[in-house]
Structure 1
Amino acid sequence: MFIHKSLFTPLLALVVGTAGSIIASNDVPLIGPSFSSNFDPSDSKALSAAKAGFPDLIKSLFSAGALNQTDLVFTVDVFSAATNTSIYSYSHVGEGQNGTLTADVLNDNTISRLGSVTKLFTVYAILAQAGLEVFNHPVTRYLPELAGNHGDDSWDKVNWDDVTIGALASHQAGSGGAADFLKAYENDAGKYTPEEFLTYMRDVKHAVISPFRNAVYSDGGFAILGLVLQRLSGVPCKDAMRDILFKPLELDGMSVKAPTASDVNAIDRSRVYNTSAWGIDVEIVTASGGLYGSTADLRTAGLSILNSELLSPATTRAWMKPHSGTGSLVELVGAPWEISRLTIPVTPGSNRTRVSDLYTKAGGNGDYTCIFALSPDHGIGYSILIAGATASSARWPLRNLVGETFIPAAEHAAAENAESNLTGTFVDESSAGTNLTLTVDKGSPGLGLESFYVNGTDIRAILLGATKPIPVSARLYPTGPNSFSRSLSSLYRTKGTMRMSYRMVGLALPLAPRAAVEGGNGGLFDNSFAWMNVGFSGTLDEFIFEVVDGQLVSVTSPGTKLVLKRA
């Protein structure tokens, strides 16, 4: 494999802001995984190197002043859908912070505040209760109290008749924050009724943007979604969360208010800091940022999403898609995913990259912050729970470090597995001149279809529609369909026999230059048209892999009706 001893040098450079130049791979891949993920990454060379190097990278953040070593308490957990377990954990308790730990220990079950990661659970509960179609329903279907506020000026009020549940979930309703309501309607008891809130949002709240114009972060919109969840379920939001998510998934440490049991295992900064946000719970914004939970809870929830435990596989895939762009080329917005469009080195030691989307959600309540992330391409995820006076700023370098360490490592572990278990020459035993060869190539994404001979003629170009052999680049990518199930979880299945579909992205040589923004010599546009040509001629570009206990044993070409077995 291409594991390089200096793997972590560029990662550390990224952390301290001196990243080297990287450019897109010459071949344009499909968005999605480069290689199949049905293997245990735990003991791969790439993951082993990432785990071994991570503590030193944390020390570098301390040394650089990016993290306050004394002030912070935090835990990092990386988990895999292939094993359904944690594959790496790291924890830190700053000097003098032991008094914040109610059980005198920081472990998997220690509870902290999740902040706006709550928003993800609110949408998860709505989808589990009502299905994906609820995204298209107008919010006034469930909250008619918001209807009928049309004004002469579109900026004056939010026109709720134009707002859907999906617009609220993806921050595209124009509903803005909730702080102005909390200030305007504050009373002695600190309680706010749903009626007061809905009246304010209908009659007073100014529109931040027009519905669906673009995404603008909205705490107020998620407070409304909490009331939608109440109407959908027939019980208060806190009870709906409990019944729809916490109980079925056994999220034992998760709650909508600070736990008060005498034996609770938590990070309670109010024990030593009277300005802590611990226990400051405002019910009207519970659905926006009110949850408490542990590392174990976040891992279980993340695996339930990757494994489609509560949602149908199609709903899961549809949910994990962008709904809006932003002013950044590398940040998209989902419902309510904060999607980081990563450029990952396609193989270790290469400066050639491909795009992989990391689905994240960040949260913060004063001196508590949280990061949650899932990578469907690799079947892994991670969470970070942070507490401390500097928790708000600490979440970003920690988010970056974990992502920049473990996502490339997972990509390289997949390449490592592919080279060991998927590459080789496969032959038609009835014809000496009929065979194909699969490779993993440094600096290139996906499996290389180095050759595909039928009766002595390389037919790769012919599969693309050419009338005669011409020089081509042909690479294969997993596309999802398989013989095991329609669930995402099948993509991470490591044992038994499974047939899975790959498609060939074939491009005539010489390849068109990548766009300038991708580090190439082209101009504004991509001229490969790679995604437009897949499946154009039916099954000619399809290859069915038969994998037994992770190893590829035969390749079927439906377009040629050939079955080729490992030589």
Structure 2
Amino acid sequence: MDDSAAMRYSAAALLVICLPLSGAQKKERICPLKGPQFPAPKGLGLEALFRNATGAIEQSIQANLTKMPYNETTFSVGMFSVTDDELLYEFHHTDPTVATSGLGANKVDADSIYRIASITKILTVYQWLIADGDRKFNSPISDFIPQLLEYQEHHDHYPGTRWDEITVNDLAMYLAGIARDYGLNDVAVPGYITSFLPVMAATVLPNNPVNGIDIPASEDPVCGYFTANIEYLPCSRDVYIKEIANLGSSFVPNYTPSYSNANFALLGLGLENMLGASLEGIFDKHIAKPLGLCSTTMGNPLQITNDSVIPGGGLVRSGWWDALGPLNGGAGGFSTTNDLAAIGRSILNSTLMARATTRRWFSTTSFVDTIEQAVGRGWEIFRVRSNGHSVDLFTKSGNWGVYNSVFFLLPAYNFGFSILSASSTARAAVVDALSNDIVNTLLPALEAITKRQASVNFAGRYTSPDMGTNTSITVTTDGSLGLRITEYIVSGVDLLGSVFALFGSDVEFRLMPNQLYDGRTRVGFSAVYQPPSEIPPKGEFYWSCPSWLDIDDYTYANVPLGLMAFDVDADGNATSVRLVALRETLLRK
């Protein structure tokens, strides 16, 4: 134990002794570790609490179906988990514009095809990780698209992009600093965007340099924007790379997160160059065929079918018809509720790539200016509190034309859901409302189910088969987090009252999942032990949650004393526990 650690323990012990004398009655807590507090639940579809929660969600939806924005939105909701092959829950609503459409679907279900727009960004990163892992993520994107350096020009009047400094990772993490798009909302080009501007601006801003703005027309975007009749004018591959090479920067790389479709267009183009194949071909080989997907594409579907969701039959007005060309890697995808569930399961279960790669993908890479929102490699991450600890929601939203969507993964519960929608009037209102409603309703149920299953599967007394050794532990669950060890006796020695009591006489010894074992036949836990700590007064941030500093401080022959591995049967019930450091197995009574 180092001096600083000893000082913390002494201070903690002194605080425990002194507080009662001061009469302070502050709420105490066990500061949790980041991550799941119990193993992920199984068989959610069989759980009454889950069915009650989805019933409440459906009741809320039904109550709103005759009101805006629900009555003017076609939408599909689908929930899924790793341990269930079918959707856990689905709800579909068809509004009049789809019900009477002369093209495509007239009633939506889990196989209905929606444009998923920017959810495609997750598919682009996923393809890269499957095909090549993340070994090259710190390489400059110019290694994969050398034309970015070849076409780059020096500009005195605006800061150019530093392509030799921008890595694959920077693009995936929204940290490249480049502008959001090439051409899409450029007001130098007369057309759809300028039609929304006041007359003076719509007259002066486009058509330079005739309008008096001294910029040559040759610098205007030549593609990548909407024309006056709302048709998207895609770029060719070579033109896109040539033009984006001179896209202006908003920030230097790795300065602050800034959303960019161009980031993921470049990732898609770089992946194509690296593998020598088209993005659609890469997707088919690495994702669609292994998962048996029938309706997900990285660009426009080849034909319109009875599953295509096209409100009012408006191919152009809806945005269905827009072919995005090189932007497909950022927003070109189409998919269904069933296909997104299959993709979500495969990500959560590491079906198509190494578990270590998945764990790295499920990480926060930068925060925005609030600790409740962050970004990852393609992910939009939200952090919410549930039962005294933080839960990370890995999401990706998308919108193009009338289509709005969102994809949620909750790794702590091996659970996810998607909401796909189409509306020319309500836009994303239903997706936004349902995202909040589903998370706020489901999280308490998921937490309660997870804790109950952990208690059933692991709680109890475990003893040595050799009665002469007097070795045993007792595992319980209580109102706090993780499995609690209330008895830890080895050869007659009370470790809770001796070794671990060095942290304080009221030390609590709790087990958190560590993912070190396969989870099917053996489930691993690591210990965190500390006295209950006070919730710090508002404004006191320094070491308000120090439990991560003291994980498994004590070892035995180089193995943490708090490392335990439970052997489980086919139903997940523990039959024994291995005290790993002591090389001894105890049987569950």
Aligned mate of 2:307, from 265, 289, 292? 265
Q: Secondary structure, in 3 states, of the residue corresponding to 1:207?
A: coil
Q: Secondary structure, in 3 states, of the residue corresponding to 1:31?
A: coil
2:100, 2:27 → 1: CA distance?
A: 49
Shift of 1:95: 4.5
1:107, 1:88 → 2: CA distance?
A: 12
Aligned partners of 1:73 and 1:387 also within 8 Å: yes
2:348, 2:445 → 1: CA distance?
A: 19
1:202, 1:48 → 2: CA distance?
A: 52
The yes-or-no answer on 1:556 pairing with 2:578 is yes
Alignment RMSD: 2.7
Q: Secondary structure, in 3 states, of the residue corresponding to 1:133?
A: coil
Shift of 1:123: 0.8
Shift of 1:94: 2.8
Partner of 1:412: 448
Aligned mate of 1:128, from 125, 130, 139? 130
2:27, 2:319 → 1: CA distance?
A: 44
The yes-or-no answer on 1:403 pairing with 2:439 is yes
Aligned partners of 2:373 and 2:383 also within 8 Å: yes
1:513, 1:385 → 2: CA distance?
A: 44
Could you list the per-position Cα deviations for residues 263-300 of structure 1 after superposition, in whole angstroms to 9, with x for gaps in the alignment? 44121125158621111122121111111111111011
Partner of 2:242: 199
Partner of 1:70: 71
Q: Secondary structure, in 3 states, of the residue corresponding to 1:343?
A: strand
Look at both structures and tell me which one has the larger radius of gyration over its CA atoms: 2
Aligned partners of 1:140 and 1:160 also within 8 Å: yes
Shift of 1:162: 0.2
Q: Aligned partner of 2:586: which letter?
A: L
Q: Mean alpha-carbon deviation: is it higher for 151-160 or for 306-315? A: 151-160
Q: Aligned partner of 1:180: which letter?
A: G
Q: Secondary structure, in 3 states, of the residue corresponding to 2:486?
A: strand
1:208, 1:102 → 2: CA distance?
A: 41
Aligned pair in 2 of structure 1 residues 155, 255: CA closer, same or farther (>3 Å)? same
Could you list the per-position Cα deviations for residues 205-264 of structure 1 after superposition, in whole angstroms to 9, with x for gaps in the alignment? 221111011211011111111211210121232332233322232221012344354644
Percent of aligned pairs with the same amino acid: 25
Q: TM-score, normalized by length of structure 2?
A: 0.81
The yes-or-no answer on 1:288 pairing with 2:324 is no
Shift of 1:525: 2.3
The yes-or-no answer on 1:37 pairing with 2:40 is yes
Could you list the per-position Cα deviations for residues 157-202 of structure 1 after superposition, in whole angstroms to 9, with x for gaps in the alignment? 1111100001001110011211536753346993422332223222
Aligned mate of 1:366, from 387, 398, 401? 401
Aligned mate of 2:372, from 324, 327, 330? 330
The yes-or-no answer on 1:505 pairing with 2:508 is no
1:24, 1:255 → 2: CA distance?
A: 53
1:477, 1:507 → 2: CA distance?
A: 13
Aligned pair in 2 of structure 1 residues 257, 104: CA closer, same or farther (>3 Å)? same
Aligned partners of 1:155 and 1:209 also within 8 Å: no
Count of aligned pairs between the two proteins: 515
Partner of 1:488: none
Aligned pair in 2 of structure 1 residues 223, 92: CA closer, same or farther (>3 Å)? same
Shift of 1:32: 1.6
Aligned pair in 2 of structure 1 residues 323, 554: CA closer, same or farther (>3 Å)? same
Partner of 2:510: 475
Q: Aligned partner of 1:324: which letter?
A: S
Partner of 1:453: 489
Q: Mean alpha-carbon deviation: is it higher for 389-398 or for 165-174? A: 389-398
1:103, 1:60 → 2: CA distance?
A: 25
Aligned pair in 2 of structure 1 residues 236, 562: CA closer, same or farther (>3 Å)? closer
Shift of 1:62: 5.5
Shift of 1:61: 5.4
Shift of 1:121: 0.5
Could you list the per-position Cα deviations for residues 341-398 of structure 1 after superposition, in whole angstroms to 9, with x for gaps in the alignment? 12112xxxxxxx2111111111111210111111111111111111112132322111
Q: Aligned partner of 2:429: which letter?
A: S
2:27, 2:567 → 1: CA distance?
A: 31
Q: Mean alpha-carbon deviation: is it higher for 127-136 or for 154-163? A: 154-163
Partner of 2:9: none
Shift of 1:117: 0.1
Partner of 1:141: 143
